[in-house]
Chains A and B, each alone.
Chain A
Amino acid sequence: MIRFEKVSFHHPNGQMALNDVNLEISPGEITAIVGENGAGKTTLVRHINGLLKPSEGEVSVLGMNTRKVSIAKLSKSVGIVFQNPDHQLFSDTVSNEILFGLTNFHFGETASKERLEWALEQFDLKDYRERSPMMLSGGEKKRLCIACILAWEPQIIILDEPTVGQDYFQKERIREMLLEQRDAGKIVIIVSHDIEFLWPLQPKLIAMSSGSIIAHGGASEILSRDDIIQRSKLITPQLLELWKKVPLDGPPASDVKEAAERISNLSVWV
């Protein structure tokens, strides 16, 4: 469980970046944080692994008060993939990059080797194991960052803009991986603008604007509200928009397959 109680955060220059944030996130859920550039999304997630401490209020992560435990201790439980992979990669080879976390968290030689192979396989990085991370494309670097985090199996996984630079096939892979993590009882948090990527995951949504949470709830409910769409600078997912535009029964379909089946079965169909 992650809990924010009356959390505010001011930058050293006095600028308010989070304003009275109250929040609970439970295991076995995917939560997506949306909002315009500069709304406070990244500031919020950096409070979860203790990189930032609240100016006021408390953040508790898996029962630990982030003010009272070290970032090193929190990192074991909270894996965060930054928006810009260049801020996170520093080893000489792809393999060593993945091994870095495993070694630091004392996985032991056999277990480390096993997790390394798993991560290389999962993220299509096997051919690059001896290559320098700096020589990878933007999309491959991002995948490597995700692989590094998942290798040590943190309880909480936070991904900041995971789909940037990924082609459709890789996006599908990331989506499947997130669902697996959710089903394994992990807390999964995604910061993303990519609404077509998020919609089929049907996440809990947190919409932010100017450092405040303006809505928190189911994806359908929140994205149906025009005021939220406007304030968060989003656009409506295409399937939801279709359900709003034509009289189709029931709640909007979450993916193309379901939509096609339900539209084909309509009683008014020729």
Chain B
Amino acid sequence: MGLRSAKTVIEVRNYSFKYASSEKEILRDLNLKFHEREITILIGPTGCGKSTLLKSLIGLIPHMYAGSWSGSVMVDGMSIKDCKISDLALKVGYVFQNPENQIFMFSVERDTAFGLENLGMERTQIRDRVDWAMALMGITNLARKPPHELSDGQKQRAAIAGILAMKPRVLILDEPTSLLDPHTALELIRLIQDLRDQLGITVIMVEHRLDLIARVADRLLVMDNGMIVEDGTPREVFAKDNSSLRNIGIPTITRLYQALNSLGPKGDVPLTVDEVADLIRQKQKKKRSVSA
């Protein structure tokens, strides 16, 4: 299960939630730990509770949404229920699916500074943090540009810079690549990996494009009907015979491997074309040596 031995950053214990407007519990008795430096992908069909879980990890639930809940969510040892959202923002950063919902100032640098200004941080310290975050995201050259003149990939980077400036321990992203072309999406995924490696932050992402992202994830959490139905490395999860997996976007190449069902030992499920190509070549070689 990903980086099981690393330090726990977020702990969800016996957690259930029901929106005030609904009859049904949307999250049902969840027990989960997120660890330091772990990249987790959260996946599941529409309406399974992914977004509600994310909202619970950043404190929007229970602070902004009406509903009934039980159990606990602890971030860095603090109970979310007893924390102010402004304190939580320093621990957990959230990047919206559409960066346009997040960036709104007149320039990229003002936008990056927005969160820190609201916390009343000293001016020189804000300057340092903003420069640091923009450099990390490779957008220093865009500092003076108005956000609406940026490309979609640049907007996404600007949105992440504004969050990183707060130096959170956990970065949560809701489908960060959905608006990006595949090439720019891959660049963003590599950047997220670098952030983890350099800063040691924990990353939790909702993402449907497993073709691109499964190979970089330490852990895959599959949700269905308000519960976690699978939890493990992508290879471990894809090796399972669980009907809930049919509704998630298992990479094409992994599905091909499963359909062939004779390429290699169970458990070693491939995630890339190169891995499957190697398995086929090995088979072909074996056959040739047998016939010789």
Contact = CB atoms under 8 A, between A and B. Distances in A.
Interface of B is mostly: helix
A244 B72 CA distance: 51
A238 B46 contact: no
B248 interface: yes
A36 B277 CA distance: 28
A263 B280 contact: yes
Nearest to B255: A256
Given A235-B183, A268-B287, A245 B274 contact: yes
Contact of A36 (B179, B183, B276): B183
Interface in B267-286: 273-274, 276-277, 280-281, 283-284, 286
Interface stretch (A93-101, A145-153, A165-173): A165-173
A56 interface: no
Contacts of B179: 37, 161, 164
B273 A137 contact: no
Nearest to B210: A168
Contact of B290 (A161, A266, A270): A270
- Considering residues A37, A164, A195, A269, which has the most beta carbons from chain B within 10 angstroms of its beta carbon? A37
Contact of A238 (B208, B209, B253, B259): B253
A95 to B, nearest CB: 19
Given A171-B249, A260-B259, A238 B211 contact: yes
B175 interface: yes
A237 B183 contact: no
A265 B25 CA distance: 49
B151 interface: yes
B242 to A, nearest CB: 14
Interface in A217-251: 232-235, 237-239, 241-242, 245-248
A107 B247 CA distance: 36
A165 B182 CA distance: 15
A253 B276 CA distance: 15
A137 B152 contact: no
Given A138-B97, A165-B97, A270-B287, A239 B181 contact: no
Given A167-B208, A168-B249, A36 B280 contact: no
A238 B183 contact: no
Contacts of B181: 35-37, 193, 232-234
B44 interface: yes
Nearest to B288: A268
B208 A166 contact: yes
Contacts of A137: 46-47, 51
Interface in B175-192: 175, 178-186
Contacts of B209: 194
A270 B211 contact: no
A122 to B, nearest CB: 16
Given A245-B274, A245-B277, A260-B260, A193 B182 contact: yes
B208 A242 contact: no
A58 interface: no
A91 interface: no
Nearest to A229: B183
Contacts of B51: 137
Contacts of B208: 165-168
Contacts of A29: none
Contacts of A195: 182
Interface in A47-77: none
A53 B60 CA distance: 45
Contact of B260 (A38, A139, A169, A263): A263
Contacts of B287: 268-270
List 7 tightest A-B contacts by C-beta distance, closest first: A260-B259, A233-B183, A168-B249, A245-B277, A238-B252, A233-B181, A169-B247
21 contacts: A37-B184, A137-B46, A161-B179, A166-B208, A168-B208, A168-B250, A193-B185, A194-B209, A199-B252, A232-B181, A234-B183, A235-B212, A238-B252, A238-B273, A241-B273, A242-B276, A246-B281, A268-B284, A268-B287, A270-B286, A270-B287
